[in-house]
Amino acid sequence: MATNQATVEVFWRAYAALKLAERQALAERILRDRKLWEDWTDHVLIDKAKRVKGKPLTLKEYVARSSKVAR
37-69 pLDDT per residue, tens: 999 899 998 888 888 888 788 888 888 888 766
Indicate the number of domains in the chain: 1
Reading phi first (left if > 0) and then psi (alpha if -120 to 50, else beta), residue 5 is in: alpha
**pLDDT at residue number 57:** 81
**pLDDT at residue number 24:** 96
At residue 11, the 3 state secondary structure works out as helix
Q: What amino acid is encoded at 11 in this protein?
A: F
CA 16 from centroid of its chain's CA atoms? 19
Q: pTM of the prediction?
A: 0.56
Compute the Cα dihedral for 51, 7, 17, 43 and give only its sign: negative
Domain with 24 in it? 3-70
